[in-house]
Amino acid sequence: MGVLDTLIVTSCMGLSGMQQDACNKALIAGSKQTGIETTVNTAEDKTTKVLDKGARDYLGDTNVNVVAGTAFVAKTIVDKSATVNLPTLGLCNSVTASVSHEKSLLSLQWKY
């Protein structure tokens, strides 16, 4: 979940049912129409890349991979679910597999 998604969910948290759905959809549509979504996503991607490079320069590739792997396993155990981005193989823009104790989901996404 990105920064903008977190802000939208937090903004509509006091609502429930249809009002919450309407609030979420209105904020998502507004952020797309005004270009805020693109700006925030670009800034988030740049910041993530800079932090990743800094961590790899400071700690080394092996240590960063161990920490990331440990964090992924810990999150999987706590959430009792895992979400993994898979290679697209030219079929679509993104493929995501989500597995939990209740259900499994394979998502294919096309962006127009």
Range of the domain at 67: 3-79
The pair of three-digit structure tokens given for residue 45, joined into one six-digit string: 């991607």
pTM: 0.51
Report yes or no: 31 and 4 within 8 Å, Cβ to Cβ: yes
Residue 86, both tokens? 């898979």
Using alpha carbons only, give the angle 50, 54, 57 rounded to the nearest 5 degrees. 140
> What pLDDT sits at residue 112?
77
Helix (H, G, I), strand (E, B) or coil at 97: strand
Q: Are 46 and 53 in contact (CB under 8 A)?
A: no
- Is the same domain home to 10 and 45? yes
**Domain identity same for 42 and 29:** yes
53/30 same-domain check: yes
Mean pLDDT per 10-residue section of the chain, whose length is 112 residues: 74 84 88 86 88 87 86 78 82 86 85 79
Measure the CA–CA gap between 79 and 73, rounded to whole angstroms.
Answer: 10
Alpha-carbon span 41 to 13, nearest angstrom:
22
Domain total of the chain: 2
Q: For residue 40, what pLDDT is reported?
A: 85
